[in-house]
Amino acid sequence: MTTKAEQIRSQVRDHYGAAARQVAEGSCNCCTPGPNPLDTTDSFGVGQYAEHQLADLPAFAAAASLGCGNPTMLANMEAGQRVLDLGSGGGIDVLLSAKRVGPTGFVYGLDMTPEMVALARRNIAEAGVENTEILEGTLEDVPLPDGSVDVVISNCVINLSPDKGQALAEAFRVLRPGGLFAVSDVVLSRPLPPVAHELLGLWAGCVAGALTTDEYQAMLTEAGFTDIEIVPTLVHDRAAVAAIAASFDTSGLTDPEALLDDVAGAVMNAFVRARRP
């Protein structure tokens, strides 16, 4: 890995390690604009889920939700299927998917942050769900065999990867032929100014690492995927981007307000679907 990639990974791990600890203590400011994920707007976190989905979840699983969508609604999961959740965090999508695939199916979560792995395992134990396993590892080196899952889901994580080409190649490798990639993610409608990509806090806040929709399409194609759909669902305005920026140090910037003007309106939640042929 390059030094820059190592710095990104370390910043992201520190950020989500702290988030997992804060969730366990009852407060968090992560990809979400509010100080508490239970108080999020509709753009991030638990607000993306239907009430009936949340009803049976342990409180900490819902509170740990840091996603930008609901990938469990993007895939037509069937009983008996095997699912992998890339960057599973506190495990909300693992638990919801485990219910969908039933006792004959199996759901793997994968996360590189030890505190998140511990939080997800605790939530799964509390929910009494047995058809899941949380793996500790990275998107760029998935610890599963080739063709071992039917569906890959992910919620607000691909944008955080310092090597998205490798992460998408790994998603393709572990899917069986015909398998579905069904992901919620942050994407860009236009490139950000170069200075934005240098801000590690903005990267950990799910903005600076996001791909434009054209870049995403090209990288999925390069990885071998077909039937690619990228559909923006929400555009983040200036206030939303300012709320994310407020959680990290912008003192090194000569003109933070100008940067916010440049970034506002470019950042979107989207769903991304593609198939391994």
Ligand X SMILES: C[S@@+](CC[C@H](N)C(=O)[O-])C[C@H]1O[C@@H](n2cnc3c(N)ncnc32)[C@H](O)[C@@H]1O
Applying CB under 6 A, which part among 152-160, 222-230, 247-255, 262-270 lies near ligand X?
Answer: 152-160
- Is 160 an interacting residue with respect to ligand X (CB under 6 A)? yes
Query: How is residue 10 written in tokens?
Result: 């370390």
CA distance 207 to 196: 9
Site for ligand X in 115-144 (CB under 6 A): 116, 138-140
For ligand X, give the closer residue by CB, 182 or 206: 206
Judged by CB under 6 A, which stretch of 58-66, 207-215, 240-248, 262-270 contacts ligand X?
Answer: 58-66
Q: Work out how close the CB of 67 gets to ligand X at its nearest, in angstroms, rounded to a whole number.
A: 3
Question: How far apart are CB 195 and ligand X at their closest, in Å?
Answer: 22
Residue type, 256: P
Residue closer to ligand X, measured from CB, 248 or 253: 248
Dihedral, CA of residue 72, residue 78, residue 83 and residue 87, to nearest 10: 0
> Minimum CB separation from ligand X for residue 83, in Å?
13
Nearer residue to ligand X within complex by CB, 2 or 251: 2
User: If you ran DSSP here, which 8-state letter would residue 2 be given?
Assistant: -
SS3 state at 43: coil
How far apart are CB 162 and ligand X at their closest, in Å?
7
Residue whose entry in the numeric block shows the structure tokens 């992560």: 30
Judged by CB under 6 A, the residue of 57, 92, 151, 220 near ligand X is: 92
Total residues binding ligand X (CB under 6 A): 26
Pair 71, 83: CB distance under 8 Å: no
224: left (phi over 0), alpha (psi -120 to 50) or beta: left
Integer Cα distance of 58 and 95 in angstroms:
10
Cα(173)–Cα(177) distance, rounded to whole angstroms? 9
CB nearer to ligand X: give 35 or 104: 35
Work out which of 112, 152, 175, 240 binds ligand X, going by CB under 6 A: 112
- Position 111 contacts ligand X (CB under 6 A): yes
Minimal distance in Å, beta carbon 66 to ligand X?
Answer: 4
Interface contacts to ligand X, rule CB under 6 A:
12, 16, 31, 64-67, 87-90, 92-93, 111-113, 116, 138-140, 155-157, 160-161, 206
